[in-house]
Amino acid sequence: ININSSNMMALAPNNSNKRETVCIFGTGDFGRALGHKMIQCGYPVVYGSRSTQTSNLIPKDAEVLSHAEAAQKSAIIIIAIQRQHYNFLTPLAEILRGKVVVDISNNLKLNQYPESNAEYLAQLLPGARVVKAFNTVSAWALQSGALDASRQVFVCGDDMEAKQMVMNIVRALGLTPLDQGSLLAAQEIENYPLQLFPMWKFPIFLSLGLAAFFFFYCLALDVIYTYIYENNNFSFFIAITIPNRVCPVMALLLLGLVYLPGVLAAIIQLYRGTKYRRFPDWLDKWMLCRKQLGLIALAFASLHAVFTLVSPIRSFVKWRTSKAIISQALNNKTEPLDITNAWLSDSYLALGILGFFFFVLVGITSLPSVSNSVNWREFRFVQSKLGYVTLILCTAHTLIYGGKWFLSPSAYKWYLPNIYMLSLVVPCTVLVVKFVLIFPCVDKPLTQIRQGWERNPKYSE
Amino acid sequence: ININSSNMMALAPNNSNKRETVCIFGTGDFGRALGHKMIQCGYPVVYGSRSTQTSNLIPKDAEVLSHAEAAQKSAIIIIAIQRQHYNFLTPLAEILRGKVVVDISNNLKLNQYPESNAEYLAQLLPGARVVKAFNTVSAWALQSGALDASRQVFVCGDDMEAKQMVMNIVRALGLTPLDQGSLLAAQEIENYPLQLFPMWKFPIFLSLGLAAFFFFYCLALDVIYTYIYENNNFSFFIAITIPNRVCPVMALLLLGLVYLPGVLAAIIQLYRGTKYRRFPDWLDKWMLCRKQLGLIALAFASLHAVFTLVSPIRSFVKWRTSKAIISQALNNKTEPLDITNAWLSDSYLALGILGFFFFVLVGITSLPSVSNSVNWREFRFVQSKLGYVTLILCTAHTLIYGGKWFLSPSAYKWYLPNIYMLSLVVPCTVLVVKFVLIFPCVDKPLTQIRQGWERNPKYSE
Amino acid sequence: ININSSNMMALAPNNSNKRETVCIFGTGDFGRALGHKMIQCGYPVVYGSRSTQTSNLIPKDAEVLSHAEAAQKSAIIIIAIQRQHYNFLTPLAEILRGKVVVDISNNLKLNQYPESNAEYLAQLLPGARVVKAFNTVSAWALQSGALDASRQVFVCGDDMEAKQMVMNIVRALGLTPLDQGSLLAAQEIENYPLQLFPMWKFPIFLSLGLAAFFFFYCLALDVIYTYIYENNNFSFFIAITIPNRVCPVMALLLLGLVYLPGVLAAIIQLYRGTKYRRFPDWLDKWMLCRKQLGLIALAFASLHAVFTLVSPIRSFVKWRTSKAIISQALNNKTEPLDITNAWLSDSYLALGILGFFFFVLVGITSLPSVSNSVNWREFRFVQSKLGYVTLILCTAHTLIYGGKWFLSPSAYKWYLPNIYMLSLVVPCTVLVVKFVLIFPCVDKPLTQIRQGWERNPKYSE
């Protein structure tokens, strides 16, 4: 009685200590790299090829046979061929019956075909146990050992035993298999290596759009207005002065946008009186890109910090400083220290430094390895509590820095407000609403709603 | 003969390619989220509930039955119910006999009950094979896929086979199971999600306490003393000047405290002549929080760097500079360049920059992903060798910066030393003792003691 | 019929729920630490020792027996003894036949013996199933739980079943086993903990050599030349001024060296008309240390940034500034704002800031945890596209900063060019060649060569 045939581990590392033979169809780039690596890791490799003459590019210890012969030698066949040539496999369907057939192909475009390559292969070979794997690994990385970006191998397939065998090979090659479920996941796995920061796209385009708007807004008010009405050529403001106005505004605005959806969600929950109804789609999406928004805000804040620190080195600032000093000297007088001014200047600088410090702390915990090593409560503490401290400090920094201009009429060129006033709208709204939400009379029902599953007998046990 | 029953892998992914049915008791928040995720990953899910009417919140493809019926359908029962309702399980004890019962509950406080929830459950259901798991995963993260902070699932249980089955499910859900041993570990696992940076508590409170002390010390000497005796209102020093005195002092002091226990341990080992007696408890604990102390020191050093770089922008500093220049101009003279001064100023700045640079390098290797990718020797090299270079550079930076004040009587206001003198005590002590320890006549016996296990025939083979 | 004996999983967690007994030969440092940890994790431990009297250092719950008795009690024997005492095992060869013998030893030097310790052990005990493991773990870390740098345990061995058993133990101790293949890998595994940043050695020595050269070059031109011909003592330039010239030069040069091999490789491929011939060895090695070169370049760039930001605080710079202002004041005139100068100053600062910003972004994606969480396409995008943006920005920054000196004769002291001119050679070459390479008439054949495996019928299917 062959009991082991029903045991999923039995096939993979079999009774003897030798690794099982692996067959690779296709002697192209990736087929060779994979075969090379497998031979290194102790697998006997046999290539299936149209021309069975051994090229000097094929790993030395590998055998090269015809497709049919090669397939018969092994329980696992890796198809290192492009999808458009898959149809040549049809005559081999009988030989491949019951074998593990690994699809490693990639496409050139997202959703290039109606069905994934692996599903197409499964249709062509109805008896084969098709597994999708290895498509996220690059041939170059496999050969050079520089597997920085592609150590993870997504695996999917309908046959558990077949999938397990492939995952064992993946592990033996020093890579990390990630089981993605049934062959239905193949489409997503084939799209994965074609993606380019999908979670970042919206936040980055939003930020670039807003930054461009604020840049031209500042350009109009600070350069063009000054040129028209005061006849001063401050065109060089484009390089540093205006970026250093746009960056803090963007940082504060985006930081506000990180905490706004949480506040909106609380209001929606309070209004509905339940947490069990789904949020609107836009809110869900917004909540899922908060991390990206926050990191972009941190980037703008860092640029703002450097732009500010660099200012004493700027030729224009040096000229302005010496002009002020010389005019005092020529007037033979020394201005006394203005304590209020010293207080304002020092306190907005100190608030900005502290805000930036906490911002960086929160940013560091967004690094995957750091966030993986803290528990959920710690992660929430940093992202929520420290995040709000950052928001409060940065808002206070902006308020103190620009408070004097709220009342000054010269701040309203062309009846338009200064951009730092615009930047304060979102963070101040968030802080005010959040302040209301932590009042006991609001916080208590909200907490009850959030623990609703325990209190409401309809939904819990 | 049912051979497979003794094979731990056989139960989990069984002969057919279908995943085994999982039963979830409780249709609350977490029960639903978990069921949803499991159905996504291909597990048939059946809910056990008091009311068997299907709510629209329960995943569509799940069945809802009475507890007894549901339990009979599956080999694994997940108890998504709060501990206080566990006693309703007592009548089901017979049905649950031999089944894998997964406790996923959390408490609201550390060590809330004398025994862990999982052990309590095991007492209630003597025949069941209880496994603790999933309690570190948040329902929200499970549902939204944002598993940043909770990809790790701690699993413990007395039955190896049951534990393995649960770990397979964990892996299939895309999470990382971590085997924590027997059910005795359940208490710790239940406490884990309630912890808030336990390793950081002491270092942070120590730093805050010391920082507060130094802050008020400076406040007294720099603001209050000046106000009383010189009638100058320098109250705005609170914002930047005093923090920028406290931060470097804290950074240097904490950096000294990172390397002090290592030096103390060496002295103790030399004195005892053996490495096989345990260090006193306080020293052990101190050594285990060196990383945290070092990172807090780095935070203070970073703040010091930014506070220093920001100084030319400060209103007070600008005023002081222009006052000095104007008084020279009015006196019609130009001071020549003071080479000694230029040397001192440039060298303490350069030492500070280099010290901070190495400090940041050491800090980067503390990131989990970096420290995981270096070997023990490399880690020791960075943390110990580069760490001492940092300590030497930072101490030299402080000595050159403040050397002139050691002799100046004006530095002793109210007969108290300037705080930067206090900050030098610990690092200088560490460096002097370390210097003595690397003398061959001291280093040789110490090395012998540390390799003691090979030399002393009593303990080694 | 003993079916399970052919099943590799069957031995490890056996039918009962108890962990199997583990035998440790040697009661030294590491033997005790390992035994202690194993007992904590539920393994019964028995020590084999010459003297069977229980020392109080040996974990309480462990048994101490003679070697022969201890070995008979367990299927796994861990040899915690140094290689030079291995020969005492020869008489035990019969008892150890068929057992799993784990070699955990390390050497003091790289390649100390002709064969690895594990292979030597396998020769001494021909019947035993030798597995290499645990040598990368430190005893101290094992005991204290501070496993930061050594959570990974490399495992190798010729017997799959034995290796699997050891890997299960590794996993049970909370460590991560990494299968390295057959016992041939033991040499490399034994060398691993003795390595000290092998990938970093060449880049660091190259950088230090170049930095020293540029330092003395600057010293000659800026300090010695000035002293001889202008009789000015600018010796203090050694501390900040010269480092701040060397750092940007090094950063730009090394950044150029990161992208030079890619450009060379493209030229070689174009010239050869194929991608299937290996690159020369020096180019392969160069390509593999690009990451390290880039990170060192980033370190120099960071130092340059801080040295620059610190300049307004320097005593010399303050003196120079006030001298200039006083001379204007004494001459009773105020210089007007030089718009060209303001533009130049602001634009090279802005370009430098942006270049540094992108440089840091690229550096962050080099962190292991970040590069593991992006796909190959995203990694290439950041490292290649953003890297070139960084190179362009930094080169432009340098060109604008120093453009005026190209024509000024005073820049050629002793007929030698200023070092920043030297620094521009490599990056400008790279950018010019890259610019040529992206022309369609060059890019098209290159792309075809790189996808060669699909077009050339000789190599692909």
Contacts of C320 (CB under 8 A, 6+ apart): none
The CA–CA distances, whole Å, from C219 to A20, A124, C240, C343 equal 65, 73, 12, 31
Q: Under an 8 A CB cutoff, do B460 and C26 touch?
A: yes
CB proximity B373 to A under 8 Å = no
Inter-chain Cβ pairs, chain A and chain C, closer than 8 A: 183
- Of C97 and A145, the structure prediction assigns the larger pLDDT to C97
Residue pLDDT, tens place only, B202-247: 999 999 999 999 999 999 988 898 888 888 888 899 999 999 999 9
CB proximity A460 to B under 8 Å = yes
Measure C56 CA to nearest chain A CA, in Å.
36
CB proximity B87 to C under 8 Å = no
Q: What string of pLDDT tens digits covers the 461 residues of chain A?
A: 333 333 333 333 333 446 789 999 988 888 888 888 888 877 899 998 887 666 667 777 888 888 888 999 899 999 998 888 888 888 888 889 999 999 998 888 888 888 889 999 999 998 899 999 988 887 777 776 655 556 778 888 888 788 888 988 887 787 777 777 778 888 888 888 888 888 899 999 999 999 999 999 999 988 898 888 888 888 899 999 999 999 999 999 999 999 999 999 999 988 888 777 778 889 988 988 899 999 999 999 999 999 999 999 999 999 999 888 888 888 877 788 888 889 999 999 999 999 999 999 999 988 888 887 788 888 888 888 999 999 999 999 999 988 777 777 666 777 788 888 888 999 999 999 999 998 988 888 888 887 654 344 444 33
The CA–CA distances, whole Å, from B405 to A150, B255, B304, B392, B421 equal 57, 23, 20, 20, 9
Measured between alpha carbons, how far is A20 from A11 in angstroms, rounded to an integer? 9
CB proximity A201 to C under 8 Å = no
Residue pLDDT, tens place only, C256-295: 999 999 999 999 988 888 777 778 889 988 988 899 999 9
Select from C421, C242, C251 the least CA-distant residue to C316: C242
What integer pLDDT is reported at residue B167 of this predicted model? 85
CB proximity A149 to B under 8 Å = no
A278 vs B contacts (CB less than 8 Å): none
Contacts of B240 (CB under 8 A, 6+ apart): A346, A349, A350, B307, B310, B311, B314
Q: Under an 8 A CB cutoff, do C367 and A367 touch?
A: yes
Residue pLDDT, tens place only, B379-434: 888 888 999 999 999 999 999 988 777 777 666 777 788 888 888 999 999 999 99
Q: Under an 8 A CB cutoff, do B328 and C330 touch?
A: no
Measured between alpha carbons, how far is B252 from B401 in angstroms, rounded to an integer? 13
Q: Under an 8 A CB cutoff, do C7 and B7 touch?
A: yes
What integer pLDDT is reported at residue A452 of this predicted model? 59
Specify which residues A45 forms β-bridges with. A22
Name which of A181-185, C63-67, C152-156, C441-445 the model is least confident about. Answer: A181-185
* Average pLDDT taken over every residue of chain B: 84
Tell me the percentage of chain C whose pLDDT exceeds 90. 35
- Of B248 and B459, the structure prediction assigns the larger pLDDT to B248
What integer pLDDT is reported at residue B16 of this predicted model? 40
What integer pLDDT is reported at residue A39 of this predicted model? 86
What integer pLDDT is reported at residue C437 of this predicted model? 92
B285: nearest CA in chain C? C144
Label residue C393 by pLDDT band (50, 70, 90).
Answer: very high
Measure A278 CA to nearest chain C CA, in Å.
29
CB proximity C193 to B under 8 Å = yes
CB proximity B8 to C under 8 Å = yes
What integer pLDDT is reported at residue A451 of this predicted model? 67
What integer pLDDT is reported at residue C254 of this predicted model? 96
Neighbouring subunits of C (3+ Cβ pairs under 8 A): A, B
- Whether residue C460 is predicted with pLDDT greater than 50 in this model: the reply is no
Q: Under an 8 A CB cutoff, do A461 and B28 touch?
A: yes
The CA–CA distances, whole Å, from A295 to A302, A383, B310 equal 10, 12, 24
Out of B13, B310, B329, closest to residue A8 by CB: B13
Q: Under an 8 A CB cutoff, do C8 and A4 touch?
A: no
What integer pLDDT is reported at residue C146 of this predicted model? 57
Q: What is the DSSP string of B414-444?
A: GGPPPHHHHHHHHHHHHHHHHHHHTSHHHHH
Ordered by start, the domain boundaries in chain B are 22-194, 200-330+337-451
Question: Which of C43, C150, C234, C328 best probes binding to B when mutated, by most B CB atoms within 10 angstroms?
Answer: C150
| CA dihedral over A146, A152, A154, A160, signed as positive or negative | positive
Residue pLDDT, tens place only, B251-288: 999 999 999 999 999 999 888 887 777 788 899 889 88
Q: Under an 8 A CB cutoff, do B342 and C149 touch?
A: no
Residue pLDDT, tens place only, A388-431: 999 999 999 999 988 777 777 666 777 788 888 888 999 999 99
With beta carbons less than 8 A apart as the criterion, state whether A97 and A63 touch: no
Q: Under an 8 A CB cutoff, do B460 and C322 touch?
A: no
Determine the CATH number of domain C22-194. 3.40.50.720
What integer pLDDT is reported at residue B455 of this predicted model? 43
Measured between alpha carbons, how far is B378 from B386 in angstroms, rounded to an integer? 11
Label residue B120 by pLDDT band (50, 70, 90).
Answer: very high
CB proximity C324 to B under 8 Å = no
Select from B440, B446, B460 the least CA-distant residue to B274: B446
Question: Which of B53, B138, B306 best probes binding to A when mutated, by most A CB atoms within 10 angstroms?
Answer: B306
CB proximity B6 to A under 8 Å = no
Measure C457 CA to nearest chain B CA, in Å.
40
CB proximity C10 to B under 8 Å = yes
CB proximity C306 to B under 8 Å = yes
With beta carbons less than 8 A apart as the criterion, state whether C235 and B415 touch: no
- Whether residue B52 is predicted with pLDDT greater than 90 in this model: the reply is no
Measure B426 CA to nearest chain A CA, in Å.
27
The CA–CA distances, whole Å, from B54 to B30, B46, B66, B73, C320 equal 17, 11, 12, 18, 82
Measured between alpha carbons, how far is B343 from B325 in angstroms, rounded to an integer? 21
Q: Under an 8 A CB cutoff, do A459 and B57 touch?
A: yes
CB proximity B151 to A under 8 Å = yes
Q: Under an 8 A CB cutoff, do A337 and B330 touch?
A: no
Q: At what angle do helices C339-364 and A315-330 cross, to 10 degrees?
A: 140
* Mean local confidence (pLDDT), B174-191: 81
- Residue B281, judged by CB atoms within 10 A of its CB (0-12, 13-18, 19+), counts as exposed
| Structure-token pair, residue C376 | 């190959």
C144 vs B contacts (CB less than 8 Å): 284, 287-288
User: Is ipTM beyond 0.85?
Assistant: no
CB proximity A10 to B under 8 Å = no
Label residue C409 by pLDDT band (50, 70, 90).
Answer: low
What integer pLDDT is reported at residue C209 of this predicted model? 96
Residue pLDDT, tens place only, A120-143: 999 999 889 999 998 888 777 777
* Mean local confidence (pLDDT), B182-195: 84
CB proximity B328 to C under 8 Å = yes
CB proximity A461 to B under 8 Å = yes
Tell me the percentage of chain B whose pLDDT exceeds 90. 35
CB proximity A199 to B under 8 Å = no
Measure A159 CA to nearest chain B CA, in Å.
6
Measure C262 CA to nearest chain B CA, in Å.
26
Residue pLDDT, tens place only, C24-36: 998 888 888 888 8
What integer pLDDT is reported at residue B457 of this predicted model? 44
Backbone φ, ψ for residue C16 (5° rounding): -70, 170
Q: Under an 8 A CB cutoff, do B239 and A276 touch?
A: no
Measure A53 CA to nearest chain B CA, in Å.
40
- Whether residue C354 is predicted with pLDDT greater than 80 in this model: the reply is yes
C335 vs A contacts (CB less than 8 Å): 319, 322
Q: What is the DSSP string of A312-370?
A: GGSHHHHHHHHHHHHHHHHTT--PPP-HHHHHHHHHHHHHHHHHHHHHHHHHHTTSHHH
Strands C22-25 and C76-79: parallel
Question: Is the pTM above the cut of 0.80?
Answer: yes
Contacts of C281 (CB under 8 A, 6+ apart): none
- Whether residue B367 is predicted with pLDDT greater than 50 in this model: the reply is yes
